Copies of this chain bind each other. A is one copy, B any other.
Amino acid sequence: MSDQIADWAHERSTLDTEPLEVATRILRAAHLIQARLDAVATTHGLSHKGDLDVLTSLRRSGPPYHQTPSWLARGAQLTTGGMTNRLDRLEHAGLVAREPDPDDRRGVFVCLTEEGMRLADTALEDSIAEQRAVLSMLNTNEQAAAARILQRLLIGLGDTADPAAAYRPRTS
């Protein structure tokens, strides 16, 4: 099946080696997929890898295209401090703007600027194309199975921003 597993099974045959496969392959695949998506971001002038994710998150969140830093941080699996850094860069680049939340004076809304919206739209299409290219390596059944299994895995891992929950944490 796999030389890696086989070698290790030979080395420590008393251990059940089968569970090793899935976790390590997820890590490897993530590494390779991330590299492709980073290349897309670079194409659109975003030298900082995670910045595009913020723009596309805002774009996907729908009108009025603004969210709080905390909400964005959860979606990006970052601390709010880390998100502050990203937002500083994006604001400085004129792609997002910070506006006060009228209902909670502690809060801030991060809004897409016109330029940010344009960039999000074009870059997101490229990003989707890239992801489709990755997925084209699997047939339709495999894609569906992978989507379902990964969702179950994410729930089990306690993903706080799991697709099934990510888009309905407190809205303000």
Contacts and interface: CB of A to CB of B under 8 A. Distances in A.
A105 interface: no
Contacts of A31: 30, 77
B143 A156 contact: no
Contacts of A132: 16, 19
B131 A19 contact: yes
Contact of A26 (B8, B16, B29, B156): B29
Contact of A138 (B3, B136, B149): B149
Contacts of A7: 60-62, 167
Contacts of A136: 156
Nearest to A137: B156
Contacts of A93: none
6 contacts: A20-B128, A22-B131, A22-B147, A23-B33, A31-B77, A142-B152
Given A138-B156, A146-B150, A146-B153, 11 more contacts: A3-B167, A5-B163, A7-B61, A17-B128, A19-B131, A20-B131, A22-B131, A22-B134, A24-B131, A30-B30, A134-B156
